[in-house]
């Protein structure tokens, strides 16, 4: 019961942390993608950003529960393996996020190339990346889930091979 309370408390504190860093998160990654500094003062007031904000907060809050799922499913008891599984989940989430940022930077570079040659194209032929279409939060959440599944596969195989020996 005490462990569940600790996990719930940690999850709620991570949700609060995610809520507080949401504007910095958006400003940082949009500046990284577009090479323009856009400052968000209160992204929760933007109506089309309510659901992505909830996904972002949920992504941080679910990390302790994902780790608990891996720990219980694979019966991980050593501190080293627990730390390794937690790091795998978090790194996988940020790896998916990083890959999305790299892809969007590539698309922005293509758009800038088209704009340089804009004298040969019409306005309708120039693609755009809208702020709403970046989906950074979704890729973070997907990466966390994939990291959990990866941990379950790795640690279940290692625990099964340890039993056979």
Q: What is the pLDDT of residues 34-71, one digit of tens each?
A: 877 776 666 556 666 788 899 999 999 999 999 999 99
pTM of the entire structure?
Answer: 0.84
Burial 59-69 (b: 16+ CB within 10 A, else e): bbbbbbebbeb
Give me the pLDDT at residue 116, please.
72
Give me the pLDDT at residue 120, please.
61
Considering only CA atoms, give the Rg of the chain.
Answer: 20
Give me the pLDDT at residue 77, please.
85
What is the pLDDT of the chain when averaged over all its residues? 85
Task: Tell me the two tokens of residue 65.
Answer: 């529960």
Give me the pLDDT at residue 162, please.
55
pLDDT of 86 above 80: yes
pLDDT of 165 above 50: no
- Domain holding 105, by residue range, is 2-164
Give me the pLDDT at residue 139, please.
96
Give me the pLDDT at residue 42, please.
62
Domains contained in the chain, number: 1
- Highest-confidence segment of 42-46, 102-106, 120-124, 129-133: 102-106
Task: Tell me the two tokens of residue 134.
Answer: 């970046």
Neighbour tally for 164: CB within 10 Å = 5
């Amino acid at each position: 019961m005490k462990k569940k309370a600790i996990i719930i408390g940690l999850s709620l504190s991570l949700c609060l942390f995610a809520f507080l860093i949401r504007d910095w998160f958006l400003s940082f990654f949009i500046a990284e993608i577009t090479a323009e500094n856009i400052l968000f003062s209160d992204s929760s007031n933007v109506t089309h950003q309510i659901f992505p904000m909830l996904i972002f907060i949920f992504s941080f809050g679910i990390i302790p529960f994902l780790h608990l799922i891996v720990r219980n499913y694979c019966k991980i008891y050593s501190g080293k393996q627990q730390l390794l599984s937690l790091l795998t989940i978090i790194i996988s989430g940020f790896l998916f996020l990083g890959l999305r940022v790299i892809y969007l930077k590539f698309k922005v570079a293509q758009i800038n190339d088209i704009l340089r040659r804009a004298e040969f194209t019409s306005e309708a032929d120039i693609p755009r990346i809208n702020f709403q279409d970046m989906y950074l939060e979704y890729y973070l959440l997907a990466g966390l889930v994939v990291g959990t599944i990866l941990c379950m596969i790795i640690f279940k195989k290692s625990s099964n091979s340890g039993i056979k020996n």
